[in-house]
Amino acid sequence: MSAKVRIQNDLYEYVNGEWLEKAVIPEDKPLTGGFADLDTGVEKLLMEDFTLFAEGKKTTDIKHMHYAIALYKKYLDVKQRNADGIKPVLPLLEKIEGMQSVEDLNKLAYEFEFGGVSLPVSMGVSEDMADATKHAFIMSGPSIILPDTTYYQKDHPAGKQLLQLYAGMAKCALAFTPLSEEAQQQCIDDALAFDALIAQKVKSQVEWADYVNNHNPMPLEEVAGYVKPFDLKGILAKIYGEKVPQTIVVYDPKAIKEFSGYFNEENFRLYKHWAYLKCLLSGCAYLSEELKEISTSYRRALTGVEKDPCLEKQAYRLASATYSEPLGIYYGRTYFGEEAKQDVIAMVKSIIEMYKVRIRENAFLNEATKEKAVLKLSTMAIKMGYPDEARPFYDQLVFDENDSIFAIMKTLDKKIIQHNYDELYEPVDRSIWAMPGHMVNACYNPSANDITFPAAILQKPFYSIHQSLSENLGGIGAVIGHEISHAFDNNGAQFDENGNLFNWWTESDYASFKELTQKMIEQFDGIEFHGGKVNGELVVSENIADNGGMAVTLAIMKTLKEKDYKAYFMNWARVWCRKAKEEYINLLLSSDVHSPAELRANMQPRNFSEWYETFGVTSDDKMYLPEDKRIVIW
């Protein structure tokens, strides 16, 4: 506890202040504390196991782990990578540079899509929002270099500098290519020019946060017309043969409808060099150590990270990302206790039941809407810990261990892309977990109406069978309530109990909900934080979820014979403990849908009477909020 502040003035600082003074951010990370420290602990534990696996001192009978271990060992073998240098990526770069027209691109588009070369549109397959049992073919514009479109505005304090850093990174990487110095500079200039055109058309992070607006089904003929001269129907025919999808769900309508504003015959050279540079920089991850370090310099500057992780950590992270589900199962079976699993499942069920009570007692909903909300809660699925088995898809992720790491990753990436496209005409598998067991996180999936709690998050301070129930409710309980509340945030509220995009509200009830949503936006909007300001619209869905998580767990606290509100609020603040680099804080302010951790700790308690009663908070204290400004939605 900090002796420098009163809890009534700053809950976050009071609980975490002493730790914050002493905490040191690792050189290879942008932050420490809370989620990050638990993630570091899980990573350290599994890296130790991978070392033993690689040395033959430990074995596992979990299917697919053989390839995760083989990939880990292959990445550690830097001798061949360093000897090969840039050579593995040159054939692809030569094909890109050899293009002279859009017609050339159309001939290569299928190969490029599966080979890691960025096309002027982004494509894939995802759940159909309108029918959660089916998949849909989706499309959007290409990605931009900077974190958000707002960075391209003239008055943005960091945008120009970051582009200069990106250009410097590009120059260092291009020096390894056969391009002349003049051609290298032309490549950089053209790539940045194309990126600037894209930034005028694609969605901002605030627009992406309103993800229901991604659902824009359009006829194939219409979309194909928008993206001419790119031959959309041609590449779809190569992917699907005679079963070309006739409906495209356009996630980013402006980018597609105004496609000619960034891609046409006249500016084809800009696209070509943009694709060349992106291919080179993404490929560097699997090339020599020198090229790998060059390719991460922009990202390090963006997040304030001082250096790349050690080689062993890089190898582990690659194996973890590629074989996440089998590794999560290994972690869960090895380190997750059944007692904890059953205890938390019981907690989830009790929180859902209390949520139903609160819905039925809700003051702004009529009976018809309440019944639908309770039905959604009653059908919500719980995924706790880790899945029983990895998906059969992982049987496909095999490779020749004699290949280079670059060739191996191209092989695996191609299989992953193909699998995604193959899902279009397959029914949605509700048994798939959104997160692996070794991830320190949790989530709600509106299309499946399910909540996922990986084994790795069920640790102190979030949860422990040795913590009091009050502490656990302030930690994992509030997180559980948070995820349940996503079913009723500004996005999730538009999906029904089956995961379909469907309006189940009465008109007056939804109008009342939108008024409360606007108040939540206003409560956070414009708060000054580390030289920037919170965008209330960007973070509103997560703030609604935090608010709901606290409301339902405080309601449960009232029912306990032995309750400790001080322990509840202090553990709430403890889980948000964080120390981060200024660059990373600024990045999150512009692009993260979550409010800064400090504000998550300090803002929500002010909305609840229990906060004032527990600590005697008055209008003279900084963490006081007038009653007419307090918001409780759920």
Percent of the chain residues past pLDDT 70, beyond the cut:
100
User: Could you give the 3-state DSSP secondary structure of residue 498?
Assistant: coil
Q: What is the mean pLDDT of the chain?
A: 96
For CA atoms 11, 14, 15, 16, the dihedral sign is: positive
- Report the distance separating Cα 352 and Cα 342, nearest Å: 15
Residue 586: the pLDDT is 94
Q: In whole angstroms, what is the distance from residue 571 CA to residue 601 CA?
A: 10
Residue 530 Rama label (left phi>0; alpha psi -120 to 50; beta):
left
| Cβ neighbours for 61, distance < 8 A, ≥ 6 positions apart | none
pLDDT in tens, 267-276: 999 999 999 9
Residue 338: band (very low, low, confident or very high) from pLDDT cuts 50, 70, 90 = confident
pLDDT band, very low/low/confident/very high, at 233 (cuts 50, 70, 90):
very high
Query: What residues act catalytically?
Result: 483, 546
State the Cα angle at 130 between 125 and 135, rounded to 5°.
25
User: By the 8 A CB rule, do 579 and 12 touch?
Assistant: no
- Residue-wise pLDDT tens digits, 97-134: 999 999 999 999 999 999 999 999 999 999 999 999 99
**Three-point CA angle 79, 82, 84, nearest 5°:** 105
Residue spans in the chain of domains classed CATH 3.40.390.10: 323-391+429-629
Beta carbons of 574 and 475 less than 8 angstroms apart: yes
Residue with tokens 């602990």: 41
Closest CA to 168 of 283, 297, 268: 297
pLDDT tens sequence across 473-532: 999 999 999 999 999 999 999 999 999 999 999 999 999 999 999 999 999 999 999 999
Residue 1 pLDDT > 80:
no
- What is the pLDDT confidence band of residue 340, given thresholds at 50, 70 and 90? confident
Q: Which residues touch 331 (CB under 8 Å, ≥6 apart)?
A: 42, 46, 386, 436, 437, 438, 455, 456
Which CATH architecture is the domain 84-310 placed in? Answer: Orthogonal Bundle (1.10)
pLDDT at 634: 95
Task: Report pLDDT for 333.
Answer: 94
Sorted by sequence, the CB contacts under 8 Å of residue 556 that are 6+ apart come out as: 350, 351, 354, 473, 477
Place of tokens 């009050």: 470
Cα–Cα distances (Å) from 313 to 59, 244, 303, 334, in that order, read: 20, 42, 18, 20
Q: What is the DSSP secondary structure assignment for residue 249, as one 8-state letter?
A: E
User: Is 600:15 a contact under the CB 8 Å cutoff?
Assistant: no
Beta strands in 311-458 (DSSP E): 381-385, 443-445, 450-454
Spatial CA neighbour of 291 closest among 87, 93, 71, 117: 87
Q: What is the mean pLDDT of residues 280-300?
A: 97
Measure the CA–CA gap between 132 and 155, rounded to whole angstroms.
Answer: 42
Q: What is the pLDDT of residues 603-620, one digit of tens each?
A: 999 999 999 999 999 999
pLDDT digit string, tens, across residues 379-404: 999 999 999 999 999 999 999 999 99
550's CB contacts (< 8 A; 6+ apart) are 478, 481, 572, 604, 605, 607, 608
Q: Where in the chain is the domain with CATH 1.10.1380.10?
A: 84-310
**Beta-bridge mates of residue 136:** 126
Statement: residue 2 has pLDDT above 80: no
Tokens 């929500």 belong to 604
Q: 3-state DSSP helix/strand/coil percent for the chain, to nearest 5?
A: 60, 5, 35
Residue (of 303, 272, 225, 295) closest to 36 by Cα position? 303
Whether the CB-CB separation of 340 and 465 falls below 8 Å is answered with yes
User: Position 38: which residue type?
Assistant: L
pLDDT tens by residue, 45-96: 999 999 999 999 999 999 899 999 999 999 999 999 999 999 999 999 999 9
pTM (2 d.p.): 0.94
Question: Residue 4 gets which letter from DSSP?
Answer: S
For CA atoms 298, 299, 302, 305, give the dihedral sign: negative
Residue 443, beta-bridge partner list: 452
pLDDT of residue 339: 87
Would you give the DSSP letter of residue 433? -
- At the fourth CATH level, the homologous superfamily of domain 323-391+429-629 is Collagenase (Catalytic Domain) (3.40.390.10)
